Amino acid sequence: MTQSTFASLQLCQPLLTALDKLGFQTPTPIQQRSLPLLMEGHDLLGIAQTGTGKTAAFALPMLNAIQDKGLRAAKKRPLALILAPTRELASQIFEDIRQYSQETSIRATCIFGGANQNPQIRRLEKGAEILVATPGRLMDLEAQGFLSLSAVQYLVLDEADRLLDMGFIGDIRKIAAMLPSTRQTALFSATMSKEIRALSAFLLNQPQQVSVTPKQVAVAKITQHKLAVPTAKKQEALHQLLNRDAVRKVIVFTRTKHASERVTKKLLKAGLSASAINGNKSQNARTRALERFKKGSDWILVATDVAARGIDIRGISHVINFELPQEPENYVHRIGRTARAGETGVAWSLVDETETKRLKDIERLIKQPIPPLSIDLKELPPSEDQPTPEPAPRQNESAPAPGPAKKDKGTDERKRKRPRRRKPNQGPSAQSKKDDAKRKPRRRKPQKVSQGG
Ligand code: ADP
Ligand code: MG
C-alpha cells in the first residue's frame, strides 16, 4: 500500500496541526483504510487488534465533518455518540478526542457509571458535539431526560466484541432505536465472530469492511512464554519474575476481582509498589490507580480483564498472566497492553494444573505454541510469605553499564520511587539498576530475560 499522509487524506488544517503536535506523522494501516471510507460517508466494520490506532481512525473523520460543516450541538443533543464498554476506555477515548480537537472549537464530553451523575448532567446541559459513553449511564441519563439522542449523526461502537461479552447487546439495540436511521455508523472490534457479524447486520447499512489483522494473531512484537507453576506457588513465582532485570512496568492479570486484591496485598507486603484495578473498586480508586501507574508512582498494576480492556499506556515492558483468562481472545487483549505503538514487549503466563485446557485454547487461537520459560521452580522457597532474593547472581547483571552520563536526571522522581521499587536486601548491581527504574526503556532488552535461566 502506498504511504499516505494525513494531509493527503484531506483532513482539515486544525486537525492536521493537532496531529502534528501529537507527533502523528503517518496514518497507521487501519487509519489509512478507514479514513477515506468514513469521510465518504460509508458505514464501516473495522477489525483490528489493539494498539493499531482505532481511536483516531473513527474520531478524525467525525471531527473533520463537524468542523468542515461548522456543526454545533444543541443542549443535551450530541451529534456524535461513541460507545465503549468500560469507564476507563471511555475516558481514554474522550482524552484522545480532546487532543485531536485541540485546535477546533468542537466540544466533547464523557459519561460513565460509578461516578456522580451531576457534573455529567451539567456538561450535557451545556451542549457537546461529541459524547463518549458507556451504555448503562447513557441509558440512565436518557431515561431521566438529561440527554436526547435524536440529533446523533455519527455512531461508533468501540471494542464491540467486548461490549457484547459484557452483555450490553440489549442496551445497544435500545440505544440504536433512539438514533435517527440516517446516521453513519462504525463498528470496531478486535476479533470477528458470529455475534459481531449479527450486530453489524443489525446496526450497519451496506458497510465497508476493513480488516488489518487476519482473524487471530498475537502481536508479533511480543515475546511470549509460559511457566508451569502449581497454584500455591504462583505468588512466589510472580515475585521472582518481577525481580527480573528488564521488568520495569508491568500489568499482572488475574481472573477474578478477589484474586487481584489478594495478589496486590501480597505484593505490597513484600515492599513492591502495586495497585489493583477491578470492577469492585470505586471509580475514584480506579482512576487513581491508573494515574499512579501511568505516572510511574506504581510500577505494577494488578488488573482484571474488565478493568484493563483497551488501556493504552506507554512503556509497559511486561504483561504477566497470573491466571489465564476464561476466554482465549482475552489473552490477545491482555498481552496487547505491552508493545504499544511500535514498542516491544514480553508476556509471561503462569499456568497451573487446572489451566491446561485454557492454555490449549489460547495456543489454538494464536496458532502457535507458547514456549516454556526456563526458570527452575525448585528454587522457589517453600513459604509464600517470605520471598527471598534471587538464589544465584545473574551473570548478565554484572555487565558494566555503558556510562553514568544520565544519572543526574530525574533525581526527585527516583527518590520518591526507590524505596518501594525493590526489596532493600539486594546486591549492588540490582541497586544500581534501580536508579534507572523509570518509565523509559532501560539498557537491557526484554528478550534477554526470556532466554535467561
Ligand atoms: P487501539 O484503539 O487500536 O488499541 P489506539 O487508538 O489506542 O489503538 O492507539 C494506540 C496508540 O498509538 C496510542 O498511543 C495513539 O496515540 C498512538 N497512535 C495512533 N495513531 C497514531 C499515528 N498515526 N502515529 C503515531 N501514533 C499513533
Ligand atoms: Mg482503542
Per mean pLDDT, which range of 71-75, 152-156, 437-441 is the poorest? 437-441
- Ligand 1 neighbour 104 (Cβ under 6 A): no
Which grid cell sits at 237?
513465582
Query: Hey, which of 8, 20, 24 would you mutate to test ligand 1's pocket, going by the most ligand atoms within 8 Å of its Cβ?
Result: 24
Per mean pLDDT, which range of 8-12, 292-296, 333-337, 375-379 is the poorest? 375-379
89 CA distance to ligand 1 centroid (A)?
Answer: 13
267 CA distance to ligand 1 centroid (A)?
Answer: 31
Q: What is the pLDDT of residue 389?
A: 37
Residues 6+ away with beta carbon under 8 Å from 354: 231
Strand order in the sheet with 318-321: 222-228, 345-351, 318-321, 250-253, 300-303, 274-277
373 CA distance to ligand 2 centroid (A)?
Answer: 30
- Ligand 1 neighbour 341 (Cβ under 6 A): yes
pLDDT band per the 50, 70, 90 thresholds, residue 416: very low
Give the single-character DSSP code of 400. P
Asked whether the predicted pLDDT for residue 446 surpasses 60, the reply is no
Asked whether the predicted pLDDT for residue 8 surpasses 70, the reply is yes
Q: How far apart are CA 450 and CA 453, in angstroms?
A: 8
Asked whether the predicted pLDDT for residue 444 surpasses 80, the reply is no
Residue of higher predicted confidence among 397 and 286: 286
Q: What is the pLDDT of residue 443?
A: 29
Share of the chain above pLDDT 90, in %: 61
55 CA distance to ligand 2 centroid (A)?
Answer: 5
Share of the chain above pLDDT 70, in %: 79
Which grid cell sits at 338?
505491552
4 CA distance to ligand 1 centroid (A)?
Answer: 16
- Ligand 1 neighbour 28 (Cβ under 6 A): yes
Which residues make up the environment of ion ligand 2, defined by Cβ < 5 Å? 54, 310
Residue of higher predicted confidence among 392 and 115: 115
pLDDT band per the 50, 70, 90 thresholds, residue 3: low
Nearest alpha carbon, ligand 1 atom 9: 53
Q: What is the pLDDT of residue 191?
A: 82
Residue 159 CA: nearest ligand 1 atom is 2
Asked whether the predicted pLDDT for residue 194 surpasses 70, the reply is yes
Q: What is the pLDDT of residues 65-86, one digit of tens each?
A: 999 999 999 999 999 999 999 9
Beta carbons of 83 and 163 less than 8 angstroms apart: yes
Asked whether the predicted pLDDT for residue 1 surpasses 80, the reply is no
Q: Which residue has the cell 502481536?
A: 219
pLDDT band per the 50, 70, 90 thresholds, residue 165: confident
Which grid cell sits at 55?
481511536
Beta carbons of 264 and 270 less than 8 angstroms apart: no
State mean pLDDT over 389-406: 35
- Ligand 1 neighbour 50 (Cβ under 6 A): yes
Residue of higher predicted confidence among 107 and 247: 107
428 CA distance to ligand 1 centroid (A)?
Answer: 39
Domains of the chain: 7-212 (3.40.50.300), 216-394 (3.40.50.300)
Residue 336 CA: nearest ligand 1 atom is 4
Q: How far apart are CA 236 and CA 166, in angstroms?
A: 32
Asked whether the predicted pLDDT for residue 360 surpasses 90, the reply is yes
Which grid cell sits at 119?
457534573
Beta carbons of 296 and 421 less than 8 angstroms apart: no
Per mean pLDDT, which range of 45-54, 291-300, 394-403 is the poorest? 394-403
Mean pLDDT over the full length of the chain: 82
Q: What is the pLDDT of residue 374?
A: 77
117 CA distance to ligand 1 centroid (A)?
Answer: 30
Which grid cell sits at 450?
526470556
96 CA distance to ligand 1 centroid (A)?
Answer: 9
State mean pLDDT over 139-151: 97
Query: Hey, which of 8, 15, 25, 28 would you mutate to test ligand 1's pocket, going by the most ligand atoms within 8 Å of its Cβ?
Result: 28
Q: What is the pLDDT of residues 247-292, one digit of tens each?
A: 899 999 999 999 999 999 999 999 999 999 988 888 888 888 988 9
Which grid cell sits at 290?
491508573
Nearest alpha carbon, ligand 1 atom 20: 53
- Ligand 1 neighbour 52 (Cβ under 6 A): yes
Q: What is the pLDDT of residue 344?
A: 77
Considering every ligand atom shown, identify the ligand nearest to the alpha carbon of residue 86 and give its number. 2
Residue 27 CA: nearest ligand 1 atom is 23
Asked whether the predicted pLDDT for residue 390 surpasses 50, the reply is no
Asked whether the predicted pLDDT for residue 420 surpasses 60, the reply is no
Q: What is the pLDDT of residues 209-258, one digit of tens each?
A: 998 864 444 467 789 999 999 999 999 999 999 988 788 999 999 999 99
Q: Which residue has the cell 548478565?
A: 396
Residue 49 CA: nearest ligand 1 atom is 3
pLDDT band per the 50, 70, 90 thresholds, residue 332: confident
Q: What is the pLDDT of residue 51?
A: 78
Write out the H or E segment, with its range, that includes residue 451: helix 446-451
Residue 312 CA: nearest ligand 1 atom is 7
β-bridge partners, 250: 300, 318
* SS3 assignment, position 74: strand
Query: Hey, which of 312, 314, 316, 439 would you mutate to test ligand 1's pocket, going by the most ligand atoms within 8 Å of its Cβ?
Result: 312
- Ligand 1 neighbour 321 (Cβ under 6 A): no
pTM of the model: 0.60
Q: What is the pLDDT of residue 148?
A: 98
Asked whether the predicted pLDDT for residue 395 surpasses 50, the reply is no
Asked whether the predicted pLDDT for residue 414 surpasses 60, the reply is no
Q: What is the pLDDT of residue 342?
A: 65
Asked whether the predicted pLDDT for residue 10 surpasses 80, the reply is yes
Per mean pLDDT, which range of 157-161, 352-356, 357-361, 379-383 is the poorest? 379-383
Beta carbons of 331 and 110 less than 8 angstroms apart: no
